[in-house]
Chains A and B, each alone.
Chain A
Amino acid sequence: MSEIRELRPVLEVCDRLMAEAGCDFVGLAIQNTVGPDVRWHYAAGNLNDKYERITVRFGKGIAGKIISSGSAMMLADFPNDIFGKVTDYPIMLAEKLVSSYAVPLFFNAVPKGVLLIGKRESFTFPEHVQYQVKDAAEALEQLLKEHL
């Protein structure tokens, strides 16, 4: 799975999304081929390399909740109005994100990944940006389905 960062079309989709959505951060988390662990495999606009060491906890934080529920999720003003503790949102803390919007990536109809965009300021992502993220997620599903 470490080769995701070497798949140029995948990186292009993420980088294009970052430019089009005008966000500060894009992260791609995918479930490992062996075992249930979900890790952040690629990030753009990152401030540090913490994301490489973070394992997404099932059902916790923005990515964990998306994988467990299969639904998109938005945080407009982190850490206000969150469910659970601040420390349940490691990627928000690691990247100093204040707002984020994330969608699941489905493989064989099962959510096994997350595409997340974020900003380092309070922000409500409008509908057209949400569609951009969903379109990018669909493109990534096509590109990655052979690798999973």
Chain B
Amino acid sequence: MEAKSNQQISSYIIQSQEEEIKRISIELHEGVGQNLYSILTGLQFIESGSQEPQLKNHLREMSQLIEKTIQEIRLLSVELYPPVLTTLGLLPAMKSYIKLYTSTFGILVDLESAGTEKWLPENSRIAVFRVCQEALTNIVKYADTSNVKINFIWTEDELKITINDYGKGFQPDEQEDSIQSSGLAAMQERMLLTGGQCTISSKIGEGTSIELSLPLKD
């Protein structure tokens, strides 16, 4: 009874956090980003009408600065909550995140999907996406690798995801009190809360493998 109540509280906290993250992400993209875009258009209009070379140059530099800020606002917004996750689903959102991941950290990710993608409930979609994000972040911090392989396998009743990093690996029983271990435990907990499972195995010198499974119900 108590365990069930704890689970409900955890689910509630996570859901509230996700809703807040989504709100900030949309506000950044639709609010701040759009306003900056209007300012950029205005500056470009003034620049095109200006005859003064010094002023023209100054306006161009300001436009470039705003362009960079818009780009960073968009990236921040997508990092917080990818809109593709709502519009197109888990797999396109992962593909989009991987592009950003490679251009941010230089790590190449090979993603393959077998079977037909199913439309997941929003909570499951977010949970699986966040666990994959956490796994990829751990790889940046600890794995010391340049290549990652992710496989999505869709069957009638289950989605299975494997993430292999071919990095330096770790001794799972030596990580019990570390931050890394808390992150791994959080990934497992998050999958459990959404009705799935997360298994982590690692071997020094051979890398780490994470296996996620999520039952697909009609």
A positions within 8 Å CB-CB of B: 36, 48-55, 57-60, 68, 86-87, 90, 93-94, 96, 108, 110
Residue in A closest to B104 when the chains form the complex, CB atoms:
A90
Residues of chain A contacted by B158 (CB below 8 angstroms): none
A-B contact list, 12 entries, CB within 8 Å: A36-B64, A36-B67, A50-B107, A53-B102, A54-B105, A54-B106, A57-B75, A58-B72, A90-B106, A93-B141, A94-B106, A108-B57
Residues of B within 8 A of A (CB-CB), count: 21
Which residues of chain B from 70 to 89 have a CB within 8 Å of any chain A CB? Answer: 71-72, 75
Residues of chain A contacted by B102 (CB below 8 angstroms): 53
Residue in A closest to B107 when the chains form the complex, CB atoms:
A50
Contact across chains for A93 and B140 when beta carbons are under 8 A apart: yes
Interface presence of B149 (CB below 8 A): no
Residues of chain B contacted by A108 (CB below 8 angstroms): 57
Besides A48-B146, A50-B106, A53-B106, 6 other A-B contacts (C-beta < 8 A): A36-B67, A36-B68, A58-B71, A86-B141, A93-B140, A110-B64
- In Å, the complex CA distance between A108 and B64 comes to 13
B positions within 8 Å CB-CB of A: 57, 61, 64, 67-69, 71-72, 75, 102-108, 137, 140-141, 144, 146
Q: Contacting A52 at CB < 8 Å: which of B69, B72, B75, B106?
A: B106
Residues of chain A contacted by B106 (CB below 8 angstroms): 48-54, 90, 94
Residue in B closest to A48 when the chains form the complex, CB atoms:
B146
Contact across chains for B105 and A93 when beta carbons are under 8 A apart: yes
Contact across chains for B141 and A59 when beta carbons are under 8 A apart: no
Contact across chains for A55 and B104 when beta carbons are under 8 A apart: yes
Q: Contacting B103 at CB < 8 Å: which of A54, A59, A96?
A: A54
Contact across chains for A57 and B104 when beta carbons are under 8 A apart: yes
- In Å, the complex CA distance between A47 and B128 comes to 33
- In Å, the complex CA distance between A10 and B108 comes to 28
Residues of chain A contacted by B57 (CB below 8 angstroms): 108
- In Å, the complex CA distance between A94 and B64 comes to 28
Residues of chain B contacted by A58 (CB below 8 angstroms): 68-69, 71-72
Shortest Cβ gap from A109 to chain B (Å) = 9
Contact across chains for B137 and A36 when beta carbons are under 8 A apart: no
Residues of chain B contacted by A59 (CB below 8 angstroms): 69, 72
Residues of chain A contacted by B103 (CB below 8 angstroms): 53-55
- In Å, the complex CA distance between A94 and B71 comes to 23
Shortest Cβ gap from A31 to chain B (Å) = 9
Question: Are A90 and B105 also in contact (CB < 8 A) when A57-B75, A110-B61 are?
Answer: yes
Residues of chain A contacted by B108 (CB below 8 angstroms): 53
Residues of chain A contacted by B141 (CB below 8 angstroms): 86-87, 93
Residue in A closest to B106 when the chains form the complex, CB atoms:
A50
Residues of chain B contacted by A54 (CB below 8 angstroms): 103-106
- In Å, the complex CA distance between A55 and B75 comes to 12
Residues of chain A contacted by B105 (CB below 8 angstroms): 50, 54, 87, 90, 93-94
Question: Are A57 and B72 also in contact (CB < 8 A) when A49-B146, A90-B104 are?
Answer: yes
Residues of chain B contacted by A96 (CB below 8 angstroms): 144
Residues of chain A contacted by B140 (CB below 8 angstroms): 87, 90, 93
Shortest Cβ gap from B166 to chain A (Å) = 13
- In Å, the complex CA distance between A51 and B105 comes to 8
Contact across chains for A50 and B146 when beta carbons are under 8 A apart: yes
Shortest Cβ gap from B128 to chain A (Å) = 20
Residues of chain B contacted by A55 (CB below 8 angstroms): 103-104
